[in-house]
């Protein structure tokens, strides 16, 4: 393993605090600074983790020459502009999902990475969750056979969440279901068609002029005979939190459980009908990580429920994905290679959701993904 070290700053310390000790333990990372607008929260975490550099101003942080890369964990509306600012300041960027909220911001991030040679990675948790990694392993070993269809969902009750969440169109935050269907085959979406279903409460609609309780999107893969279906709900749908992913192959198919904490279901072709389905506990994939951060696949920063960030609690720890995300990003910087997903792949995943909602508003009209989201363009 290389001895090179990358100097990282974490921006946003709600969900972002989960990553502090992972960077501190990673053999190729130095966590040199953290940033939070609330000075009391900033001091509390910086003191607890013995971090000397503390910024309440993001712009001031970007002027620090010691920082090589930023990991952004701020509210969704800030992702695009903060990523753009960081790239313009000469910093590599890891950013929690989604990449941005507009097509224009996604395109600008892609343009800047091409212009500067800097690295961008959208930190999509599902494509590094243990369940996904198990399905990826089956695929890479040929045990799924020919992949015929993929399906994913992300259902969540967002009542009580602050600021920009009330009334948010379901597909505007769709990376947790779009990411895995594109990620398994490393595919690109060519075009989408989406239908809205149901109606959210009247007081929620004016926030985004979006009435739909559920949005369901069909995704046609580029240069492939495969397509996928994803669906998303945020308000007024009775459902336990669920991020799900299903892959249907000619030899085996795998479905995430309907109830959180239950085993995966693996279906094997050509067995007697009662023997086709089998419940399988997904193995952990800490073995893929440096030993110093392997234990983070099974625990968060905070051990008590009262201190867990709500996204971590609802998402069941995001399937042990956090150390895998850190390692993918740091390793990409150390080895000067593209992470998954890189800027163009992140744009393709994010723009599926943006364009899907536009399609729903137009009665399911087919909308093509822009060329800037394709690797060969």
pLDDT at 343 over 70: yes
Per-residue tokens: 281: 């506990």
DSSP assignment of 111-137, as one string?
Answer: HHHHHH---EEEE-SGGGSHHHHHHHH
Q: What pLDDT shows up at residue 260?
A: 87
Strand order in the sheet with 277-280: 277-280, 264-268, 252-255, 242-249, 147-155, 227-233, 214-221, 189-197, 367-368
Measured from the Cβ of residue 211, the count of other Cβ atoms closer than 10 Å reads: 17
Residue 230 backbone dihedrals phi, psi, to 5 degrees: -135, 145
Dump pLDDT digits (tens) for 82-119.
999 999 999 999 999 999 999 999 999 999 999 999 99
Q: What pLDDT shows up at residue 284?
A: 95
Q: Is the dihedral of CA 93, 323, 240, 309 positive or negative?
A: negative
Question: Where is 10: in which H helix or E strand?
Answer: strand 6-11
Helix (H, G, I), strand (E, B) or coil at 8: strand
Q: What pLDDT shows up at residue 162?
A: 83
pLDDT at 131 over 90: yes
Q: What pLDDT shows up at residue 166?
A: 96
Residue-range domains of the chain with CATH: 6-125 (3.40.50.720), 127-321+352-373 (3.30.360.10)
pLDDT at 244 over 60: yes
Dump pLDDT digits (tens) for 197-222.
999 999 999 999 999 999 999 999 99
The torsion region of residue 77 among left (phi > 0), alpha (psi -120 to 50) and beta comes to alpha
Task: Yes or no: say if 80 and 100 are a contact pair by the CB < 8 Å rule.
Answer: yes
Question: What integer best gives the mean pLDDT of the chain?
Answer: 94
Whole-angstrom CA distances from 273 to 37, 268, 281 are 58, 10, 21
Q: What pLDDT shows up at residue 40?
A: 95
Q: What pLDDT shows up at residue 3?
A: 85
Helix (H, G, I), strand (E, B) or coil at 373: helix
pLDDT at 52 over 60: yes
CA distance 257 to 264: 5
pLDDT at 316 over 60: no
Q: Pairing relation of β-strands 252-255 and 189-197?
A: unpaired
Task: Yes or no: say if 232 and 177 are a contact pair by the CB < 8 Å rule.
Answer: yes
Tokens 């003191």 appear where? 47
CA distance 18 to 341: 21
DSSP classification of residue 15: G
Q: What is the dihedral of CA 252, 142, 151, 328, to 10 degrees?
A: 140
CA distance 183 to 136: 9
pTM of the model: 0.95
pLDDT at 306 over 80: no
Task: Yes or no: say if 138 and 116 are a contact pair by the CB < 8 Å rule.
Answer: no
Dump pLDDT digits (tens) for 145-159.
999 999 999 999 999
Question: Where is 361: in which H helix or E strand?
Answer: helix 343-361
| CA 177 to the chain's CA centroid | 9
Q: What pLDDT shows up at residue 317?
A: 66
Q: What pLDDT shows up at residue 311?
A: 41
């Amino acid at each position: 393993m290389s001895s090179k070290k990358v100097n990282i700053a974490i921006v946003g310390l709600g969900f972002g605090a989960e990553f502090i000790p992972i960077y501190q333990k990673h053999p190729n990372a130095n966590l040199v600074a953290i940033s939070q607008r609330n000075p009391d929260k900033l001091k509390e975490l910086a003191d607890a983790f013995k971090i000397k550099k503390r910024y309440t101003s993001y712009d001031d942080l970007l002027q620090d020459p010691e920082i090589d890369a930023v990991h952004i964990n701020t509210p969704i509306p800030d992702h695009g502009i903060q990523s753009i600012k960081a790239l313009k300041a000469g910093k590599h960027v890891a950013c929690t999902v989604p990449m941005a909220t507009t097509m224009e911001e996604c395109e600008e991030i892609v343009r800047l990475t091409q212009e500067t040679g800097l690295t961008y990675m959208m930190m999509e948790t599902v494509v590094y969750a243990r369940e996904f990694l198990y399905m990826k392993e089956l695929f890479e070993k040929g045990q799924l056979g020919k992949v015929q269809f993929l399906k994913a969902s992300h259902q969540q009750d967002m009542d009580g969440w602050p600021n920009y969440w009330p009334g948010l169109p379901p597909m505007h935050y769709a990376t947790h279901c779009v990411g895995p269907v594109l990620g398994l085959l490393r595919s690109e979406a060519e075009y989408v068609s989406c239908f809205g279903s149901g109606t959210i409460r009247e007081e929620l609609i004016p926030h985004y002029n979006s009435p739909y309780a559920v949005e369901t999107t069909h995704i046609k893969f580029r240069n492939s005979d495969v397509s996928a279906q994803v669906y998303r709900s945020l308000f007024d749908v009775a459902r336990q939190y669920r991020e799900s992913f299903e892959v249907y192959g000619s030899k085996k198919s795998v479905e995430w459980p309907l109830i959180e904490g239950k085993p995966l279901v693996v279906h094997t072709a050509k067995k007697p009908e009662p023997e086709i389905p089998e419940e399988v506990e997904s193995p952990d994939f800490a073995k893929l990580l440096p030993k110093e951060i392997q234990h983070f696949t099974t625990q968060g920063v905070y051990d008590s429920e009262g201190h867990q960030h709500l996204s971590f609690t609802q998402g069941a720890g995001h399937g042990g994905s956090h150390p895998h995300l850190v390692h993918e990003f740091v390793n990409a910087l150390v080895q000067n290679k593209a992470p998954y997903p890189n800027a163009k792949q992140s744009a393709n995943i994010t723009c599926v959701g943006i364009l899907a909602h536009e399609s729903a508003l137009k009665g399911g009209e087919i909308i093509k993904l822009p060329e800037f989201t394709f690797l060969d363009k």
